Structure 1
Amino acid sequence: MYRKSFYQYLMTERNPENTDEVAQFANNAFYDQSFPKHSQSYEELSQYLELNGEYLPTMTIFDQAWQMYLEKMS
Structure 2
Amino acid sequence: MRVHVTTNAGALNREQQLGLVKDISALIAEAAADPSLTERTWVTLTEVVPGGGGIGGRAYTNEEIVRTARKLLGKE
TM-score, reference length from structure 2: 0.25
Of Structure 1 and Structure 2, which has the larger fraction of its residues in strand?
2
Of Structure 1 and Structure 2, which has the larger fraction of its residues in helix?
1
